[in-house]
A and B are shown apart, each in its own frame.
Chain A
Amino acid sequence: MAIIHEEIDNWLAADVYGELSDEEQRQLHTHLVECVACRKTHQETKTMNKILEETLTQQKPDPSFEQRMLAGFRNRVPERTGLLKFLADLMRMRAAQVTAVAAVLLGLVQLGRMVTGENAASPAAPDRYANEQLFEQRSQVAATSEPARAGALGKADELAAARPQAMPLQAPPPPSSDEAKDKTESFAQAERTVVTGSNIATAEEVGPKPAETPPSALANRKLIRNATVELEIVSFDDALQKITAIANDERGYVATTSSQKQANGKLSGEVVVKVLPENLDRFLQKIRKLGELKNQTLGTEDVTKTYFDTDARLKNAHVMEQRLIDMLKTKTGKVADLLQVEKELARVREEIEKMQGELKYWDSQVQFATVTISLAEKDMEEPAAFLIKERSQLALYAPNVEKIYNDIKALASSRSRGMQITSAQLNRDYSGRISATMSVLIAPEESEEVIARVKSFGRVENFQTQTERIAQGGSGMSENAKTKRDKVELNITISREEQEQAFQQTSLRIRTSSVDEKAKDLRAVAEKQGGRVRSSTFSRDPNGRELANVWLRVPMKNYPALMQSLDSLGKVENVTVQRQDRTGTQIDEANAPADISIQVYSQGNIVSHESGPLATLRRTLAQSAGAVMWSLRMIGVAIAFLAPWVVAIVAIVWIAKRVIRARRKL
């Protein structure tokens, strides 16, 4: 009940608006019966509702309101008509939306391609254009100049070229006995022959084609057949004899032979054989058996058209000649004219002779097929001799580079024939380092001795020999070729010992009380073992500690002895040994240098002003003073950061208080 009383407004409103459930309504009425105040409010609320109902209902929109709204809407948003409406309707369909998106994407891709310059725009178009042009050119060429087409035509163009070709081919009257043959067939023939003719360059694949043509047609064609064969044989003379025999069998003859001898005694050559065309294939098969076939081409050239053209021209020329002769016989006209006729007659006769010669040539070519046989004996490439070339690299270390340099020179001059210096160079760089490079040629029989001598001059750091067998006049293996040794080439580099990297590096420490003295002893020990002191330092630090560093170099053979004698100097500590094994080179290990770096040191015995209780106290005080100063500074920083905020907050609070007070007064 209490809830109802407190929320009486909500309850009453809900009651007025019919939003109370039956149970709620019952509760409310029970409360209203009990509570006077709420009853009054209930009354007022009902009145209020009535007033509102009366007043607000007046303000309700009139019945034509929707119509007005609709009209206004139509007015302000004009409906799309025609195509636009259709498009808008279309775009409402899912499929159309997808299509539109795809189209836009495609458009973007195309645009991108255009921007990047990729030529994607219909590749077919320029191609077709090119084809057209080609076709035009070809047909023009074919129409004007016959021989131009002879080899160079592309396969695709051949057919194209063949068509216009066929027309002129038909024009000259072929003196064929089978003239009665169907026209279409002759057309087809003509076409085929042209294709064959233009293919002469790659004759092999077209080879069988003439055989397909009917024999009656073949008989009237002027075909020049030729073949080339490349054979590898055992003996040239033998093969030549056999070829001659085969040629005779096939009613042919050997036209020319040529041969030449190689450096390794092998023979190679060329034989040209003429055989009857119909026997050509059989001949070739026999030839093949003579040796290993390396290469074979078979070609056919159709000269029918040119042959009969020339023949026709020859006949015309004969007629012309006869007429000119007749003219001379009648002898009318001026002398000058007669002279002219005479001249013309001479020209015509010359032409006739030329044409007759041509025809004869063709006849001979057609009568016999030409076979060019290239013969080569086996193992043509076999080398005639071998040359053994030896190259050696020698790296030497020596205490005195210049001396060795001169020694080698002297050695060379003493063996003037067996040893020859090709180049020698002595270098001294800015830091005084000296090195030498020499190249020497040594007679093969003396090489061992000379190299041994040179090696003994210094310490060998590296020695390498390369031997090369060079085949002369051919390649590969040969059993009976001679082997010859060439001069040995020796490259020598001489460097100073100092530059040599130590074979073994040792570092150790010796503790002793008298550093300076022991360092001196150390020098003596080193010298006794054939070593040298490369460098040394001596220092004394403020604590009275003394320190001497000595770097020694001794030959490897004296290294153990030196290490032993070091023990007598003091306590040896921290020994580390590093060894560099150089594989693959011949080095003289006993004489190889070993580096030893020795640190001789003493414990400090003087108390410095930096230690002791007083110094410690002073340091502690100074440190604590520093810490205090640091914290003071940090506090200062913090205050500097916070102060403006504090001031601002105080100011705001103060103003706020003033404002509140002023309001209260009002």
Chain B
Amino acid sequence: MDASEREQYRAAIQGDREAFEVIIRTHSRTLFAIAYGILQNREEAEDVVQDSLVKAWKMRWRVRDPEKFPAWLSMIARHRAHDVFRKRRPDFTHETIETTEVNTPETSAMDQHLQSALATLPELHRAALTLRYFEEMDYRTIENTLGLTNGALRGILGRALNSLRKQLRPVFASTD
């Protein structure tokens, strides 16, 4: 983290609105990736990002160390997304899948399989995957963003890919 970045976080913590808006511009995609990874739903993920930003603005004085500001933002988004995920009614997932089916007829069967395969992964694994594919972050950045220890991501992504691979093997077979 360079000095100007840190200065920006510090200003934002102290209530500089412009600095915070710059942070919104630079970080909301990351937050979206996390939220989407957990929720697998764009609308909900957007709402989560929105809520998280507002909450972060209101609670900004809680952050003592400006360096930790991005990780803190991600944590808020993760918790918020988790809350939303838990509050879903049990049949909600199926409903959304149906609606997506109806609304986007071009969605391939592969997409649907992938969706359900992703749904079986732990939240953290999903968030890591989306961060990787959406933002093309390297392992180190993802680890920092999600608050993981160094080297933990390697195993996580390995297991995630393995799990997806196993679930989608029949589909491969059919498509090949």
Contacts and interface: CB of A to CB of B under 8 A. Distances in A.
B32 A61 contact: yes
Interface in B124-176: 129-130, 132-134, 138-139, 154-155, 157-162, 164-165, 168-169, 172
A376 to B, nearest CB: 88
B119 to A, nearest CB: 13
B155 A52 contact: no
Interface string B1-41: 00000000000001111000100110011001000100000
A66 B133 contact: no
B114 A52 contact: yes
B111 interface: yes
A188 interface: no
A245 interface: no
A430 interface: no
A7 interface: yes
Contacts of A140: none
Contacts of A49: 161
Interface stretch (B45-53, B64-72, B80-88, B90-98): B45-53
A70 interface: yes
A72 B28 CA distance: 12
Nearest to A57: B133
The size class of the interface chain B forms with chain A is 35 or more
A228 B125 CA distance: 114
Given A9-B161, A13-B161, A92-B16, A60 B24 contact: no
A65 B161 contact: no
Main secondary structure on chain A at its contact with chain B?
helix
A230 B114 CA distance: 125
A474 to B, nearest CB: 88
Nearest to B14: A92
A308 to B, nearest CB: 83
A45 B21 contact: no
Contacts of A69: 24, 28, 46, 49-50, 53
B154 A52 contact: no
Interface string A59-84: 11100011011101100110100000
Contacts of A59: 36, 42, 130, 134
A68 B17 CA distance: 17
B32 A13 contact: no
Contacts of B42: 59, 61
B168 A51 contact: yes
Contacts of A52: 114, 129, 133, 164
Contacts of B161: 9, 12-13, 16, 45, 48-49
Contact of A77 (B25, B32, B57, B157): B57
A500 interface: no
Query: Which 4 A-B pairs have CB atoms at the shortest separation, nearest pair first?
Result: A10-B158, A9-B158, A9-B162, A56-B133
Interface of B: 14-17, 21, 24-25, 28-29, 32, 36, 42, 46, 49-50, 53-54, 57-58, 110-111, 114, 129-130, 132-134, 138-139, 154-155, 157-162, 164-165, 168-169, 172
25 contacts: A10-B157, A16-B161, A17-B132, A17-B138, A17-B157, A18-B138, A19-B139, A45-B161, A48-B168, A51-B110, A52-B114, A56-B129, A56-B133, A56-B134, A57-B134, A59-B134, A61-B42, A65-B32, A66-B24, A69-B28, A69-B53, A70-B24, A72-B53, A73-B57, A92-B15
Given A12-B158, A72-B53, A73-B21, 10 more contacts: A10-B155, A14-B158, A52-B129, A59-B134, A61-B134, A65-B29, A66-B24, A66-B29, A73-B54, A88-B15
